Amino acid sequence: MEEDEEIINSSPEKATAAAAAAAAATATTPSNHKPHITWSDSYSKAHLAIEALSAILPSLPPHLSSSETPATSLLHDSDVAAQISLLLRRPDSGGANDNLCAWLYDTFHSSEPDLQLVVLRFLPVLAGAYLTRAALNKPLAGFESVLLAIYGHETAARNGQAVTVSIPDLAHSSIYHETKQTAAKNGSTELHLAVISPTLEPHGTVRSTRRPRIVGVALELYYTKISRIPIGSKIEFCEFCKIWSGQFSDQTLNENNPPQHSDNPEKTTPSSSPVLRILGHCLMGEEKKKKNNNNNNDDELFQTAISACRCLNARALHDINPKAILATGSLVKLAEMAAAAADRTSPDYVDHTEIAMTNIISI
Amino acid sequence: MSEGESAEADQFENDPSVRQFVANGICMKTNEFEEKLDAGNIQEAESALRDGLSLNFEEARALLGKLEYQRGNLESALRVFDGIDLQAAVQRMQHSLGDKQPSKKGRSRSESLSAVSQHATNLVLEAIYLKAKSLQKLGKLPEAAQECRSVLDAVEKIFTDGIPDVLVENKLQETVSHAVELLPELWKQAGNYTEAMSAYRRALLSQWNLDNECCARVQKAFAVFLLYSGVEVGPPSLAVQIDGSYVPKNNLEEAILLLMILMRKFYLGKTKWDPSVLEHLTFSLSLCSQTSVLVKQIEEAIPGEIQRIERWKAMALSLSGAGQNSSALDLLRMSLHKHEEPNDVMSLLLAAKICSENVLLASEGVKYAQNAIANSNGPNSSHLKGVGLRMLGLCLGKQAKLSSSDFERSRLQSEALKSLDSALSLEPENSDLIFELGVHYAEHRNMDAALRYAKQYLDATGGSMIRGWRLLALVLSSQQRFLEAEVVTDAALDETSKWDQGSLLRMKAKLKISQSLHKDAIETYRYLLALVQAQRKSYGPLGVAPQVEDDNIDEYEVWHGLAKLYSILSHWKDAEVCLEKARTLKEYSAESLHTEGVMHEKQGRVSEALAAYINALLLEPKYVPCKILIGNVMCKMGPKMLPVARTLLSDALRIEPTNYMAWYHLGIVHKDDGRIADAVDCFQAASVLEESEPIESFSTIR
């Protein structure tokens, strides 16, 4: 336990050392605490993380320490989530001596996918708090160490390569063409190549001009894991988008007022492509379709996401940014269409997989 | 057979609200069976039905199950269906069909699939399908999916070559189509995305003889799944790939492909128009910045489905997003025509923005911006008033540059400033606006104000924008505070990763030259050259820049900068080599000719110099530096040429009123001509302007 305390109190600047210490602790501690568990490294790592967290949070739900799947329990525990979010949002958070940031950093470096997911789950709050405060010239080494850890992970995973998409051209035959002939093949038409995410270079520190990019890349990783991220985190993401849009709240848009900008002057915004993809998921991902399960959380996500989209659309109009106007405008329209289509009481609602209900039942 | 049945049923039927069984030409009301089923006597109901309608066991069960399903008694329906050994029935069917079929391929084989056996097949398959539907409604999704899949497995076993286009009974086809469409939905609802993905691909890549509408629905649902589920499904297996055909590598590519195919089906009239498809396509193509592809898609959409103004607006946005601003403006002019939507604020603002970037269009932009301001009083557009004012300011500022009279120019400039200021009072935190005000003041040499805004912008953006650092350094340089400018540039370099350092390094080199630290400047240029060359190589075969920002500098600029530097130092050989390199990268360039001319002139070859300057003007008639240099050469040719020199220099000043070199040389012309007072004025202007001359033009900052 003493060892753990040390790790937590170490500043993120010494984070690499802390990570090494954590690795050492992982190797030795199981024999001290849970001698019978040697079969699962990830299990013990998760327990270590929970123990370390208990020194930071005011109260930790007791069932976490006894959980069979500690990492998953940690990910989905709304009480823990609320406590951590609160700490991250505190005005003095994110500094070099922030224990929680050190914990997030170490936990991400545990290399356990389930534990990394726990860290990613807090990315929206962390990135939101970071970007709103970065311009105030306060040292935010704690936040930055976590963001750089995530950025570094994605850079390594991608080997620094850009993510590209070659836009299909129907002049080329494809697997989904109805006529399966290859004669129409036409070498003269080149496929458009689009760069979704440019090449990545390693960063040891956050240079201010790379700040939006580093947060953007972290969000790209968040998006690739999004189907496993709890809804609460996605709702926090949507809230963060509203702040990012310069707080054109729905209310502001509907009233005859000039826009209310937020107190902070920061206009640093992460790259828009991952933001839009995450929002698209929040609006039209599978959670939305399960709405008839009476899950209020899902509906809350949908409502928050559509409101975030409207804010971003207002912002895009404000910036006269054609691509952003198109993308956010389409999302808003699609969400409205989806809401109308999901209404089963509407006369237009058709379930195409339902059989014809007739009074004449024949073979 | 079924036709005969229903005809008879119609005769029998008096009250259509009465539910009844119909089979073998006999009708029976369902109430007595319902009672038996409600009491839990399934077998009793079954035998009564078998006797009454001369049915076999499976047929009776299938009918009863359907009845219960329709009545919403799903548990009971499942119990009824459970009585039939469906798998055994399918196996039996396979055997009976297999026996009848000759092993030859082709249509004849399908034809032999008699109506009777198809009928029996459907009976069983529909029962399994309804079982799946019942399980789905009961929330037992994985079980439902298993049942639904067994329908498709059975069909695949029976029709090994896929379902033929014709000769399949409607009801059977209907069941198959239903199952194909339901299966992926079930897996999705069950949260099993991997299975959902294979169900979609199976639906679309095997031959199920789906009708167009059904196929389109599945394609759209799959595209939506690919776009928004957040689960990367991986490319289709090699088995379905055909040589030379396009195989999508990831979700986004596959989704876009499907959406494009759907768009084509719309305009071929194969399926009913669905507006959401275009929205999904718009979203996905703007996401990857391929709005030029989107333009084609919108263009091809069938007329009538999209309102024409909506189409023009969407196309204008797409074109502008793809950098084709002049085509975008053409469309906006159409949509802003007085008979269309002349007061649409979005179109007005976009048009004004496009015009604000072009001196020749600036006056047109002023009108759009004024109109936008006038129309942004509504509840949904009041937040755009500041944007309108900002665009007005930018357009007026641009318009001032073209103005021929001093009076007109200063009027436009002060109006521009007024607009920008009113915009700022509406949006005090708008950092773009703060930046633009900084540039505006800097261009008009109000350096104190420019410095204030430059600092404010840097603070507001937390130093995240390179252009903020550059503006501050340039403003400092124009105040001749070179050391401070260098400190800012170095700080900016610290905050920038190496691929983005080009414009900062170029600035640094120029700062060194201004301080006569030529050796340092050469070093900086060498480093910059290495960087630019490494960058070009790292783009690789793709040829795409890693940064989206467009102020990356190219190799030509570096060689040309070096040539100028060596020319200052009179290192003619080195200068010549660098200029030659620059020329190989950009053959026709006024700047290169300018430098070449200067080199000739400095070495006393005046006529060669003059030829180079004139060539530069032939390439770029408004290239001010060469106008000045020609003026200077003319001035030295004696009194006869003084009027020519004067004309050239006045012309240069009309284009660039703040060019101190032009004022200086004009002063010399006046002096030589004996107009001392005029000369003094010119020299004074030159001196003042020189003291506020930035190391590079403010317009180089984007």
List, for residues B333-364, the tens digit of each pLDDT value.
999 998 999 999 999 999 999 999 998 999 99
Dihedral of CA B424/B430/B432/B434: which sign? positive
Using a CB-CB distance cutoff of 8 angstroms, which residues of chain B are in contact with residue A212? 464
- The answer to whether the Cβ–Cβ distance between A209 and B465 falls below 8 Å is yes
Is residue A147 domain-shared with residue A250, that is, in the same domain? no
Using DSSP bridges, classify how beta strands B20-23 and A360-362 pair: parallel, antiparallel or unpaired. Answer: parallel
- The answer to whether the Cβ–Cβ distance between A285 and B287 falls below 8 Å is no
pLDDT at B378 over 80: no
> Considering the domain boundaries, does residue A102 fall inside one?
yes
The amino acid that residue B13 corresponds to is E
- The answer to whether the Cβ–Cβ distance between A326 and B318 falls below 8 Å is yes
pLDDT at A295 over 60: no
Mean pLDDT for the stretch of residues B542-550: 46
Is residue A153 domain-shared with residue A283, that is, in the same domain? no
Q: How would you class B527 by CB atoms within 10 Å of its CB: exposed for 0-12, middle for 13-18, buried for 19 or more?
A: middle
Q: How far is A76 from chain B (nearest CA, A)?
A: 17
**B162 or B47: which leads in pLDDT:** B47
**Chain A residue closest in CA terms to B263:** A170
Residue B444 DSSP class: T
Mutate to test the interface with A, among B28, B59, B188, B228 (most CBs of A within 10 A): B228
Is residue A139 domain-shared with residue A236, that is, in the same domain? no
- The answer to whether the Cβ–Cβ distance between B20 and A172 falls below 8 Å is no
Distance CA B699, CA B321 (A): 22
Is residue A6 domain-shared with residue A141, that is, in the same domain? yes
Is residue A20 domain-shared with residue A151, that is, in the same domain? yes
Which of A226, A258, A265 is facing B383, going by the closest CB pair?
A: A258
* Residue where a domain stops, chosen among A159, A177, A202: A159
* Residue where a domain stops, chosen among A159, A191, A211: A159
- The answer to whether the Cβ–Cβ distance between B20 and A281 falls below 8 Å is no
Mean pLDDT for the stretch of residues B677-693: 91
Is residue A147 domain-shared with residue A240, that is, in the same domain? no
Using DSSP bridges, classify how beta strands B20-23 and B26-29 pair: parallel, antiparallel or unpaired. Answer: antiparallel
User: Domain-by-domain residue ranges, chain B?
Assistant: 631-702
Is residue B560 within 8 A of residue B595, CB to CB? The reply is: yes
* Residue where a domain stops, chosen among A102, A130, A159: A159
Q: How would you class A256 by CB atoms within 10 Å of its CB: exposed for 0-12, middle for 13-18, buried for 19 or more?
A: exposed
pLDDT value for A52: 86
With cut-offs at 50, 70 and 90, classify the pLDDT of residue B98.
Answer: low
pLDDT value for A22: 41
pLDDT at B193 over 50: yes
- The answer to whether the Cβ–Cβ distance between B288 and A167 falls below 8 Å is yes
pTM of the model: 0.85
- The answer to whether the Cβ–Cβ distance between A176 and B219 falls below 8 Å is yes
CA distances, A118 to each of A71, A222, A233, B98, B550 (Å) = 7, 11, 10, 56, 37
> Considering the domain boundaries, does residue A214 fall inside one?
no
The per-residue pLDDT of chain A, averaged, comes to 77
pLDDT value for A14: 41
Report the range of poorest mean pLDDT among A119-123, B13-17, B218-222, B561-565.
B13-17
Mean pLDDT for the stretch of residues B583-595: 91
The per-residue pLDDT of chain B, averaged, comes to 86
Is residue A123 domain-shared with residue A22, that is, in the same domain? yes
The amino acid that residue A163 corresponds to is V
pLDDT in tens, B404-427: 788 898 899 999 999 999 999 988
Residues in B 11-70 with any Cβ partner in A closer than 8 A: 13, 16-23, 30, 55, 59, 62-63, 66-67, 69-70
- ipTM score here? 0.86
pLDDT at B550 over 70: no
**Which of the listed CATH numbers 1.25.40, 1.10.10, 1.20.1250, 2.60.120 matches domain B631-702?**
1.25.40
> Considering the domain boundaries, does residue A10 fall inside one?
yes
Residue range(s) defining the domain that contains residue A68: 1-159
Using a CB-CB distance cutoff of 8 angstroms, which residues of chain A are in contact with residue B249? 166
C-alpha radius of gyration, chain A, whole number = 24
Mean pLDDT for the stretch of residues B186-195: 91
Compute the count of residue pairs across chains A and B with CB atoms less than 8 Å apart.
312
CA distances, B645 to each of A184, B598, B634 (Å) = 64, 17, 5
- Tokens of residue B264, six digits: 């084509």
Specify the number of domains making up chain A: 2
pLDDT value for B164: 64
Mean pLDDT for the stretch of residues B608-635: 93
With cut-offs at 50, 70 and 90, classify the pLDDT of residue B208.
Answer: confident
> Considering the domain boundaries, does residue A207 fall inside one?
no
**Chain A residue closest in CA terms to B229:** A285
Distance CA A87, CA A98 (A): 10
pLDDT in tens, A30-41: 444 444 444 468
